[in-house]
Amino acid sequence: MPSPKAKNPGRSGGSPVLGSSNGRYEFMSLTKPLNRSSPPHLLQRQGSDPTTARLRASESPTRRRGSGSSTGSASGQGPPEEDGIRLNPSLIRVALSSLLAIDLWLSKRLGVCACEDSSWGSVRPLMKLLEISGHGIPWLAGTVYCLYKSDSAAGQEVMLNLFMGLLLDLILVGIVKAVVRRRRPAHNRMDMFATFSVDRYSFPSGHATRAAMCGRFLLAHLVLAAPLRVLVFLWVGLVGLSRVMLGRHNVTDVMFGFWMGYCQYNLVEMLWLSPQTLQGLLGQSA
């Protein structure tokens, strides 16, 4: 008994179908346009007249899924473009939700200092010390102090630009946090000092952006011996790690924060305020 496919040999769709010739069924590729030299009975069954061809194309699996393509499978030259376009967003969604699931799982596992009675609760004070070392207030206060104390024009220029960078960081992180509005992990205890209202959101980590930006700044503008340069690298990494261990952030908040801070430094370099620019600005405002 012939299969249902055998009754309908003209379906297009890239898979071999059966063509009937004197009662025998043969495989026939639909990935290539039908050869003019094909026997007349095959041409007839494929629907050589345009109306039949259109009807048969509308029966194809890709058509039935509603891709509506007039190219690609209808002409037998591979999958229609729309199918690729429709598949990709769902693949991206699956990839993103898997990444999110891994992120949440890993962040929860690494949040070992989230409170005193957590498994690593005893190192919580040390993590909080790292938190203070990357907080905006000590950095702003320290920069203003160095600016005030600096007696060289070059030192003042560097400190002023660091101050601008720190302000820029607070503004940019605030904007991204307000737009993304990702909640902090459920295991976080909100006991941070001096926060803005946007700091109830966790993406990106402000400590991570600041650490990355200031780390790059120090490495570029201070003449540091090799051990001190290593220390700067270590400090940046530890500030990021402490955010996750304290349960303040998910891993992706910190990773994105590092990337954002790295890019913010490029912005600081682009907008660098030279003494001449400053004089110009001060002259205009006077």
Ligand X SMILES: CC(C)=CCC/C(C)=C/COP(=O)(O)O
135 in catalytic set: no
Among 99, 137, 220, 281, the residue binding ligand X under the rule CB under 6 A is 137
Which lies closer to ligand X via its Cβ, residue 122 or residue 195? 195
Judge contact between 268 and 262, C-beta under 8 A: no
Q: How far is the CB of 256 from ligand X (least distance, A)?
A: 11
Residue 81 and residue 71: Cα distance in Å, rounded?
8
Contacts 24+ apart (CB under 8 A), 276-283: 278/157, 278/160
Q: In angstroms, how far is CA 204 from the centroid of its own chain?
A: 12
Q: How far is the CB of 72 from ligand X (least distance, A)?
A: 47
Among 28, 135, 143, 214, the residue binding ligand X under the rule CB under 6 A is 135
Which lies closer to ligand X via its Cβ, residue 56 or residue 243? 243
Contact mark string toward ligand X, 86..115, x via CB under 6 A: ------------------------------
For residue 256, give every residue at least 6 positions away whose Cβ sits within 8 Å of its Cβ, in sequence order, or none: 203, 204, 205, 208
Which lies closer to ligand X via its Cβ, residue 46 or residue 143? 143
Which of these, 18, 13, 136, lies nearest to 72 by C-alpha position? 13
Q: How far is the CB of 194 from ligand X (least distance, A)?
A: 4
Q: Does 187 bind ligand X (CB under 6 A)?
A: no
Q: Say which of 135, 187, 207, 221 is annotated catalytic.
A: 207
Q: Does 261 bind ligand X (CB under 6 A)?
A: no
Q: How far is the CB of 181 from ligand X (least distance, A)?
A: 13
Residue 165 and residue 140: Cα distance in Å, rounded?
10
C-alpha to C-alpha distances, 8 to 24, 74, 213, 227, 229, nearest whole angstrom: 14, 16, 66, 77, 73
Residue 47 and residue 29: Cα distance in Å, rounded?
15
Measured distance between the N- and C-terminal CA atoms of the chain, rounded to whole angstroms: 97
Which lies closer to ligand X via its Cβ, residue 140 or residue 219? 140
Residue with the closest Cβ to ligand X?
A: 136
Q: Does 206 bind ligand X (CB under 6 A)?
A: yes
Q: Does 207 bind ligand X (CB under 6 A)?
A: yes
Residue 101 and residue 91: Cα distance in Å, rounded?
15
Q: Does 136 bind ligand X (CB under 6 A)?
A: yes
Q: Which helix (H) or strand (E) holds 260?
A: helix 251-270
Judge contact between 269 and 205, C-beta under 8 A: no
Q: Does 247 bind ligand X (CB under 6 A)?
A: no
Question: Which of the stretches 15-23, 27-35, 204-212, 224-232 binds ligand X when contact is defined by CB under 6 A?
Answer: 204-212
Among 29, 75, 195, 279, the residue binding ligand X under the rule CB under 6 A is 195
Token representation of residue 168 = 């820029």
Q: Does 264 bind ligand X (CB under 6 A)?
A: no
207 in catalytic set: yes
Judge contact between 30 and 13, C-beta under 8 A: yes
Task: Report the interface residues with ligand X, using CB under 6 A.
Answer: 135-137, 140, 170, 192, 194-196, 199, 205-207, 243, 248
Q: Which residues are catalytic?
A: 207, 249
